[in-house]
């Protein structure tokens, strides 16, 4: 989550805040999993985790109400490439109206149909255009992930607040007529002084208040149920989950089901693993992100031996190379994508990397490799400063693979032990023309190009 140039009261606040990681992401024993499976069956959607997620926006996408239609025009090709879900930016009306990226929420039920906060449409378009986009995505088998911002609100009117000892902008009377809020619904209030964290001085929702819980997930027309049942969203990306206890998104998700992932911005894998277990959902794998940054920006692939969430809890790890908040892996970025698209976890693609900055053919090839070959557990075969080799051991109808990442300036070759005896293999990236036959003892020599990678599996 990031907020730029938002007007709060009479004071202009400028933020550049970075808060925003296949095997299946869903735990089959949870109620939310069964709910999602029913949705998948009824809508003929691809199971989430069978492909990759597309982050369908970047910071400061063009204003003017065109973005929903831009994405609508891309979902068919994304689906054909192997994407199974799209993550949209916060879709409801925010304080900055037509200029807001949505991370300063005002009216959770205004998707571009009410004239308030200076505009009718949101930055991204109208409610009808959003509904059309979601329908087009569903018709192409894609789940649609909503970005849920429930830590803080913005745009309220000034009211006298004895709990804060001053007047505060905590009186919310949205035109939708739903989820009106006052000083009793934010921190501090008559019962609770604070929770896990405030953001940027904005009014901080008090999730322990029954009224807030009712409107967020308990009522028949709660935010959660309106998003799912009326707007037809299929899952949830929870913003800035450090700002509230993990039971909050857990209860939200239990009320409606669906895939869910939290933005717990922390490279400490112990903390990430604690959070996913408490919240009972996935998290973005910042542990993996920072290790890849060290490996590829620091030109030392030994960093890939470090701890990551996918190594602890692969079914709860959403891996990524960049997003709308952070894009530090500039050098050798395609090598980072080769890493997450061949390893465990549920990989997410960043819109600008796919559409604007990197070789789309190479990314499509890696998506195909992920969806068709990358099954089973992971075994490290070799790691040093310039070379990294690992194998996926196969499973779930997939043969597995061996990925060879070469960060040096020359071709590299190594003997590796495969899971295949006396079988011909090939490089599915096309970088190498070799088609060797593994020895009876399953050993074989493979190669990788300079500043490149190869991915080997049965021919």
Tokens 């890493």 belong to residue: 339
For CA atoms 301, 305, 307, 311, the dihedral sign is: positive
**Given 104, 121, 239, 285, the catalytic residue:** 239
The answer to whether the peptide bond before residue 188 is cis (omega within 30 degrees of 0) is yes
139 is known to lie in a ligand binding site: no
What CA–CA distance (Å, rounded) separates 227 from 40? 17
How wide is the angle at C-alpha 261 spanned by C-alphas 258 and 262, nearest 5°? Answer: 135
DSSP-derived 3-state class of residue 13? strand
Q: What is the DSSP letter of 276?
A: H
**Given 263, 344, 353, 427, the catalytic residue:** 263
Counting other chains too, the contacts that 286-290 makes at CB distance below 8 Å and 24 or more residues apart are 286/21, 287/21, 288/21, 288/317, 288/319, 288/340, 288/345, 289/21, 289/319, 289/320, 289/321, 289/326, 289/329
- With beta carbons less than 8 A apart as the criterion, state whether 197 and 181 touch: no
What CA–CA distance (Å, rounded) separates 103 from 415? 50
The yes-or-no answer on residue 307 being catalytic is: no
Residue-wise over 167-200: b if at least 16 C-beta within 10 A, else e?
A: ebbbbbebebebbebbbebbbbbeeeeebeeebb
What CA–CA distance (Å, rounded) separates 322 from 330? 9
Looking at 167-246, list the stretches that DSSP marks H as alpha helix, in order from N- to C-terminal side: 210-213, 223-225
161 is known to lie in a ligand binding site: no
* DSSP, residue by residue, 154-182: --PEEEEETTTTEEEEEEB--TT--S-B-
Tokens 């029913």 belong to residue: 38
The yes-or-no answer on residue 263 being catalytic is: yes
Binding site, by residue number, is 151, 386
Known catalytic residues are: 239, 263
Binding site for Ca(2+), by residue number, is 151, 386
């Amino acid at each position: 989550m990031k907020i730029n140039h938002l007007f709060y009261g009479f004071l202009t606040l400028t933020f550049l805040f970075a808060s925003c990681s296949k095997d299946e992401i869903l735990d089959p024993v949870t109620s939310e999993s069964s709910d999602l499976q029913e949705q998948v069956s009824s809508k003929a959607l691809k199971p989430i985790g069978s492909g990759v997620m597309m982050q369908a926006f970047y910071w400061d996408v063009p204003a003017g109400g065109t973005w929903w239609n831009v994405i609508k025009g891309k979902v068919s090709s994304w689906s054909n490439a192997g994407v199974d879900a799209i993550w949209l930016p916060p879709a409801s009306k925010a304080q900055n109206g037509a200029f807001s990226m949505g991370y300063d929420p005002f009216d959770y039920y205004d998707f571009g149909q009410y004239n308030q906060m200076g505009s009718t449409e949101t930055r991204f378009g109208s409610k009808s255009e959003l509904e059309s986009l979601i329908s087009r995505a569903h018709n192409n088998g894609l789940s649609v992930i909503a970005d849920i911002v429930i830590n803080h609100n913005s745009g309220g009117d000034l009211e006298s607040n004895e709990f804060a000892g001053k007047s505060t902008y905590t009186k919310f009377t949205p035109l939708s007529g739903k989820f009106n809020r006052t000083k009793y619904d934010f921190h501090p209030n008559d019962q609770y002084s604070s929770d896990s964290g405030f953001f940027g001085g904005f009014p901080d929702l008090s999730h322990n208040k029954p009224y807030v819980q009712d409107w967020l997930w308990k009522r028949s027309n709660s935010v959660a149920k309106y998003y799912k049942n009326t707007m037809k969203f299929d899952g949830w990306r929870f913003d800035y989950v450090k700002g509230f206890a993990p039971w909050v998104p857990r209860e939200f998700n239990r009320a409606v089901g669906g895939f869910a992932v939290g933005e717990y911005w922390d490279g400490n894998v112990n903390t990430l693993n604690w959070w996913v277990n408490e919240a009972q959902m996935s998290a973005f794998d910042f542990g993996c992100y920072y290790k890849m940054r060290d490996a590829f920006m620091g030109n030392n692939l030994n960093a890939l031996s470090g701890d990551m969430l996918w190594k602890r809890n692969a079914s709860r790890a959403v891996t990524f190379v960049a997003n709308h908040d952070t894009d530090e892996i500039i050098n050798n970025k395609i090598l980072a994508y080769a890493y997450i698209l061949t390893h465990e976890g549920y990989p997410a693609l960043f819109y600008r990397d796919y559409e604007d900055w990197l070789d789309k053919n190479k990314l499509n090839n890696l998506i195909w490799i992920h969806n068709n070959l990358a099954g089973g557990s992971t075994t490290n075969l070799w790691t040093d400063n310039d070379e990294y080799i690992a194998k996926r051991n196969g499973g779930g109808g997939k043969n597995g693979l061996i990925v060879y990442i070469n960060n040096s300036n020359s071709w590299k070759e190594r003997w590796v032990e495969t899971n295949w005896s006396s079988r011909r293999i090939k490089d599915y990236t096309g970088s190498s023309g070799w088609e060797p036959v593994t020895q009876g003892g399953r050993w074989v020599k493979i190669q990788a190009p300079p500043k490149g990678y190869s991915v080997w599996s049965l021919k």
